[in-house]
Amino acid sequence: MKIGIVCYPTFGGSGVLATELGKALAEKGHEIHFITYQQPVRLNGFHANIFYHEVRVPTYPLFDFPPYELALASTMVDVILNHDLDLIHAHYAIPHASAAYTAKQIVKQKTGRSVPVITTLHGTDITLVGRDKTYEPVVTFSINESDSITAVSENLKEETYKHFDIKKDIEVIHNFVDVHRYNKKPVSAFRQVIAPNNERIIIHASNFRKIKRIDNVMDIFKNIHAALPSKLLMVGDGPERPLAEDLTRQYGLEADVRFLGKQEQMEEILAVSDVFLLPSEYESFGLAALEAMAASTVVISSDAGGLNEININGVTGYTSPVGDVEGMSKNTIELLKDETKLKTFKQNALKEAKLFDIHHIIPKYEALYRKYCRTGDC
């Protein structure tokens, strides 16, 4: 099938999932067209079945805010008509679902064909941004006008029905991970550079926004560091990074905390890590945690949102109430001091991650797409 994927091209979970989905579908013979304002970060290398269409937004003195949604809808119309797309898959409701609806109506007027639109809800488009009264009516309308709706977790599905007047069924298709890619043997030389005295390695990776509770990450590590030799790797960037750097200095941890910035390839970093910290205020699913588990890294997280659907408390790691710094610290310290238990949890984490392997999830999307097959040969 010829599938248009509309997504954010950044390091966030929705953009990563959309890109990996497109790449996997292309490997299976589908023709994939990415439509966004810059090339997705995970879209590297050449593939005969993948096409990228850049959305260009003209700037005029009249516009304080360039109308990206209109430019996106126009680009979608162009790609649908010139490449005869079978459907549009919009990832993240704002503004992709509403722009897809506009494009669908234009194509219908021009050709008489109603191009199916599938909207996948990822999290903050529903739980944070979408609830704002500025956006809520458009979000509700565009979701209801989608031909199919999916959510990346049961929790997100429940939150969507709770906060929006959605009239249609929402199908849960969980986020996925390429376990083969992340299940790497740790490179001892790399670990030696980070932890020359065999310290435990703790990792946090996120967009460093308030919802990730970066101050909790630093407080938890301060407690861990006081109990046993350890290093903290902070991967990513965002508005809360200056806070994290300031707390590092306040706590006197400069020698044991490394800020690595945005990293496209996480496999080697996760492979040498012992524990992944994710004390978030909310996670619709927790793709970063799943990637850590695929690398056999134990997850210490909050129990917010969909995290309980992947991080099984007392099996693959531990979950605690949001803000329970002492509880997360205690669980991490006890685990890191018990080598046998840590090894068992690492094995369990990998086993659980395999349930969300890309090869299990992609067929679910293909089954959804086949509902809109035009030729009967999809």
| Structural domain containing residue 35 | 2-175+358-370
- My answer on whether 216 and 236 are in the same domain is yes
- Residue 15: exposed, middle, or buried by beta-carbon count in 10 A (0-12, 13-18, 19+)? buried
- My answer on whether 211 and 346 are in the same domain is yes
At 133-172, the pLDDT tens digits run 888 898 899 999 999 999 999 999 999 999 899 999 999 9
What per-residue confidence (pLDDT) applies to 143?
Answer: 94
- My answer on whether 167 and 263 are in the same domain is no
- My answer on whether 311 and 171 are in the same domain is no
* Pairing verdict, β 257-261 and 230-236: parallel
CATH (domain of 339): 3.40.50.2000
- My answer on whether 262 and 168 are in the same domain is no
Q: Could you tell me if residue 79 is inside a domain?
A: yes
What is this structure's pTM?
Answer: 0.90
Q: Could you tell me if residue 233 is inside a domain?
A: yes
Phi, psi at 200, each rounded to 5°: -70, 145
Taking alpha carbons only, the member of 23, 33, 41 closest to residue 103 is 33
Low-confidence ranges of the chain (pLDDT < 50): none
Question: What are the strands of the beta sheet with 317-320, ordered from one edge?
Answer: 257-261, 230-236, 200-206, 275-278, 298-302, 317-320
Q: Could you tell me if residue 376 is inside a domain?
A: no
What per-residue confidence (pLDDT) applies to 130?
Answer: 56
Number of domains in the chain: 2
- My answer on whether 337 and 190 are in the same domain is yes
CA–CA separation, 44 and 263 (whole Å): 14
What per-residue confidence (pLDDT) applies to 127?
Answer: 73
- Which tokens go with 5? 């994927």
- My answer on whether 71 and 158 are in the same domain is yes
Q: Could you tell me if residue 190 is inside a domain?
A: yes
- Residue 95, preceding peptide bond in cis (omega within 30° of 0): yes
At 119-134, the pLDDT tens digits run 999 887 787 665 778 8
- My answer on whether 43 and 105 are in the same domain is yes
